[in-house]
Amino acid sequence: GFAPWFQDEQPAVIVDVCCGGGSLGMLAKLVFPNATVVLSDLDDAALALTQENSQRHPVDGIVKGDLLAWCADDSVDIVIANPPYVDAHDMADLPPEYRHEPGLALVGGD
């Protein structure tokens, strides 16, 4: 968990960039219920899933776009992300259970 890093002071603002379906940001809200937790992604389908998931696990905001561009230098205590991590060449070699994900969620470039 986050305990080793936040024993004395709880974070006030947490942002989840490249949120996909929002699971990391929603987990952060459960761990730090008093924090303002805002999620962002560039993909409309991902944000629709985030919106749906937030019905069960509410967060403080869902934003389309680059949330890091919105944040001032010292306005965020924690930034979490699960960005695209597969190159375009390796996408075709992934097992079927990975390929159901949108390409934008997995492919980070060539």
Per DSSP bridges, beta strands 36-41 and 13-17 are parallel
What is the structure's pLDDT at 109? 44
What is the structure's pLDDT at 1? 60
All domains in the chain, ordered by first residue = 13-81 (3.40.50.150)
Q: Tell me the C-alpha distance between 32 and 26, whole Å.
A: 10
What is the structure's pLDDT at 91? 60
17-65, pLDDT tens digit by residue?
A: 989 899 999 999 999 999 999 999 988 988 999 999 999 999 999 999 8
What backbone phi and psi angles, to 5 degrees, belong to 15? Answer: -120, 140
